[in-house]
Structure 1
Amino acid sequence: MHRFLVALLAALDAAVSAIVGWAVVLVPLLLMWVFAFGGLADWSALWPATVRIWQLGNFVPLSLSLDGDFLVEMGLPEEAGSFVLSLAPLAFAVLIAAFAARSGRRALRSGRWLTGVAAGTTTTALAAVIGNLTAGNPVASAEPWQAILLPTLVYGIPMLLGAVTGAWSEGDDGIVDRLHDIADRFPTGWREFPALMVRGGGMALAGVIGFAALAIATTVPLRGGSLIALYEASQVDLTGAILLTVGQFAYLPTMIGWSLAWIAGPGFALGAGTGVTPVGSQLGVLPGIPMLGLIPEHGSPLLLLSVLAPVAAGAIAGWGIRIAFRAEAHAEGSDHEPTAPRVVLAVGIAVIAGAGAALIAALTSGSLGPGRLAVTGPEPGAMALAVGLEVLVGAAILLLAPRRYEQRLGQWVRGDDDAETAGPKASTGGQD
């Protein structure tokens, strides 16, 4: 495909991403302006508010300055009039990243993925510049360099990763193919090592995220009373309740990140000097946000069993990679599975899962309000260490187990009813 056409299509993708992101914010604000304020509020504030919320969703910290009369009306202390809001509604970034990665794959199929990535990133930067220049207001402000750089990175990095990972698996007749050729010259047992390690780390991280989401889904019916009570205390009408719910869904991925920190053990903070862990919770006064009603008020030593979830995720990843590793060895005409690559694979899977957990912790941390609420979310270092070690235990069990035990463990993971009878036959070559 011609270079100009590739750049044009990639730029169009980036423009659509920005426009859709703005529209997702503007439509609810417009509905609130019509139904909650009867169209009497200043409509010119809608666009600046839209851009600022979009920027927050792209990890741009916002400096808020509230009017003194508003503080008196709401009964808030004077020190609450100025603070930084940096805890991002992560749903924005997740959707943008998914769209950008898809655009990167499309640019790869065109044969000129570098051109596509450059065009998409440049267009996003231009949209960020336009948004920031038109979003001036006395309530919320952002540093210009952050308002331009961070949305550009949120779109550009996933687009680049989408193109590079696609090029690794499909080929690009360029630099990625040359790197693939270098990996193909590795000795037997190490040849597919990079791809297997990344795949295993991704499987383990996806498993831990799935367990974290399941923990939230389990908590909803258990603590639904607290959730409803906070909705009632907010005293909002139907329109306000709908908008409040939509806003909380934007923070659902953030809550999943907190849940991941909880099941891994380190927990998370909801203000300076606070902590929410399986053992116990130390909480101060919290904002009346309904979704915070899902946070457990008490812990139990039995809840420490939640750390088995990352171990199980690591075991599933190790089992899948052990099968793929054996298939690669058989494809090379060898039935031998070298131990050293399997050891490094287990460590590599744990490192990647731990690094991913640290990134999730960083993305789900920030400032939620003034004073003590400036410290909110999990700590990346503790998350990386806990998830990495727990995944390492699970992955090592399946990757390093002798074959007969690995087969029986694999059958247990699959839930086969005949695991007890299949194991001895496998170990004796099928003889009675």
Structure 2
Amino acid sequence: MSAEGPRTGRPSATTTRPGRRTVPGGADRSRFFTSALDGAPRWATGALASLQAAVLSLAALTIPSVAAFVATSADPSNAGVAWPQAVGVGAAVWLLGHGVPVTVASTSVTLVPLGVSLLALFTCYASARRSGVATRSAYAAAVGAYAAAAGLVALLVGGGGGAAARAVVGGAVIGALGLGAGLLRRPEAPSLRALTRPAWSRVAPWARAGGTGGVLASALLVAVSALVVTLWVVAGRATVGDVVRGLNLDAVGGVVLAFAELAFLPNLVVWALAWLSGPGFAVGLGSRFSPTEVVPTPLPAVPLLGGLPAPDLVGPATAGAPVVLVVVGLVAGWYVHRRVRPTAGWHALAACAVTAATAGVLVATLVTLASGAAGPGRMASVGAHGWAVGGMVALGVLVGSALVALPGDPFVRARVRRLLRVPDRDGAPPDED
């Protein structure tokens, strides 16, 4: 990141390519983090952009809650419910998306709706890209303001100091990721590659390739898991329809339920990843959904859960689902093979190990975030064990990447020729160590 330049007295600049401007006189500067609002303090503009993002994502949840309250206000059973309570419900769900547990009737709900987290990330990204200011001070102020806003909301809903502290931490993480991504999309900002080059350049090339390969493997696994969820929902569409008809919802209730299901749809995708990996997942104590076994228990009347695998879907075909991990590892191994130029015999294997470790850690983090308590009793256990799933992913990716990267490594091939005493292409016998 470059330092902030003066606001006035600069010569006019012409854009040569995204993220670069040519200043008359021949100086080509990367004007990362420069103000878009003349005369406005850059830190204040960044803080306002983050507050805008917080208000937008919070309103997206509180408005449906208030609409549901208005639509049901004539019901005698809701006579003692005031509209601020509807706002509090929306705010509590918003906080839950930032990792703050919610207490409902003395029961702690810790299951993070990843859809709410993605909504908050998107509003941060969009707000920073549209009206953010690409300066270091503005970025720091934006993240700080967003974290403070999350803490304030936690205090207003009566969460106490512990909830406010968790909200500040969760808000700082979401704000740093979303706002940072939005600022990097500003016209004057350089690419992420250029920004991180000083740090990445100090890392060994095989480690860089392995880390990128691990991210690629994780992204491919999430994409395959989304496809699996689609197949589940199509296969269970009859059950989903029966649950919807049994609820007998009106238009407002249907819209609210649809929003609620969208909030947890990414969680289902992560659970499908746990299913693909082998350990599977649970939706309530005593239940298990895995490629080799389905042990169902009574589930809440939620249409989305009607798409979970049924016992009759388990068979020899599903038992081989973890092979997908090896296939994804093959793709990641091909990427590593194309990127690594080994100068020692262990570089290819080390790159594969970094690829597997990166994918395992990323998947374990996702699974941990997508798991928790969704209610009292049996619903206190929902999701999967993050490190068990991450370990299986790391093992599968390691095997797949090694099957591609190691045979293509010249040092490995030379070692194999020496062991088998196979002559080189020119007919000469292999060198002896």
TM value normalised by structure 1: 0.76
CA RMSD, aligned part only?
3.3
Q: How does 1:198-217 map to 2 (within 5 A)?
A: 198-217=211-230
Please list every run of 5 or more consecutive structure 1 residues that lacks an aligned counterpart in the other structure: 66-81, 184-189, 330-335, 405-426
Match 2:407 to one of 401, 405, 419: 401
Does 2:279 correspond to 1:266?
Answer: yes
Measure the CA separation in 1 of the matches of 2:180 and 2:56: 21
Aligned match of 1:151: 171
Q: Which moved more, 1:83-92 or 1:42-51?
A: 42-51
In structure 1, the partner of 2:263 is 250
In the other structure, the counterpart of 2:25 is none
Q: Is the 8 A contact 1:61 1:142 kept in 2?
A: no
C-alpha deviations, 1:372-426, integer Å up to 9, x for none?
211110101211111111111111122112379xxxxxxxxxxxxxxxxxxxxxx
Distance 1:107 1:323, change over 3 A: farther
Q: Once the two structures are superposed, what CA deviation does each residue of 1:232-277 show, in whole Å capped at 9, x if it has no partner?
A: 1222112212211111011111000100000111101112232111
Change in 2 beyond 3 A, CA 1:355/1:144 = same
Match of 2:376 among 363, 370, 373: 370
Question: 1:384-395 counterparts in 2 under 5 A?
Answer: 384-395=390-401
Cα deviation code 1:53-92 (max 9, x no counterpart): 1101111101112xxxxxxxxxxxxxxxx31111111012
Counterparts of 2:200 and 2:358, CA distance in 1: 20
CA distance in 2, matches of 1:230, 1:397: 46
> Is the CA contact (8 Å cut-off) linking 1:108 and 1:166 kept in structure 2?
no
Q: Deviations over 1:23-77 (max 9, x none)?
A: 1102211321233335975222232122111101111101112xxxxxxxxxxxx
Contact 2:45 2:132 in 1 (8 A): no
Q: Give the 3-state SS of the residue equivalent to 1:182 in structure 2.
A: coil
Match of 2:146 in 1: 124
Separation of aligned partners in 2, 1:224 and 1:347: 41
Q: 2:365 aligns with which of 359, 363, 366?
A: 359
1:35 aligned residue: 71
Q: Tell me, what secondary structure is at the counterpart of 2:60?
A: helix
Residues 278/233 of structure 1: CA separation in 2 closer, same or farther (3 Å cut): same
Show the counterpart of 1:318: 333
Q: 5 Å matches for 1:94-109?
A: 94-98=118-122, 100=124
Q: Residues 182 and 220 of structure 1: is their aligned pair in 2 closer, same or farther, counting only changes over 3 Å?
A: closer
- Amino acid across the alignment from 2:335: G
Larger radius of gyration: 2
Change (3 A) 1:391 1:159: farther
Tell me if 1:19 matches 2:32.
no
2: CA distance between counterparts of 1:369 and 1:91?
18
The reply to whether residue 48 of structure 1 matches residue 84 of structure 2 is no
Helix, strand or coil at the partner of 1:246? helix
Query: What is the aligned partner in structure 2 of residue 416 from structure 1?
Result: none
Where is the helix percentage greater, Structure 1 or Structure 2? 1
Shift in CA distance, 103/43, structure 1 to aligned 2, threshold 3 Å: closer
- Asked if structure 2 preserves the Cα contact closer than 8 Å seen for 1:84 and 1:369, the reply is yes
Question: What is the match of residue 302 of structure 1?
Answer: 317
Query: Partner of 1:84: helix, strand, or coil?
Result: strand
SS in 2 for 1:267: coil
Q: Conserved in 2, the CA contact under 8 Å of 1:266 and 1:277?
A: yes
Whole-angstrom distance in 1 between the partners of 2:254 and 2:127 = 35
Unaligned 5+ residue runs, structure 2?
6-33, 35-39, 411-424, 427-433
Evaluate the alpha carbon distance shift between residue 161 and residue 385 of structure 1 in structure 2; reply closer, same or farther with a 3 A threshold: farther
Identity of aligned residues (%): 24
Q: CA deviation at 1:197?
A: 1.9
Confirm whether residue 286 of structure 1 aligns to residue 299 of structure 2: yes
When normalised by structure 2's length, the TM-score is 0.76
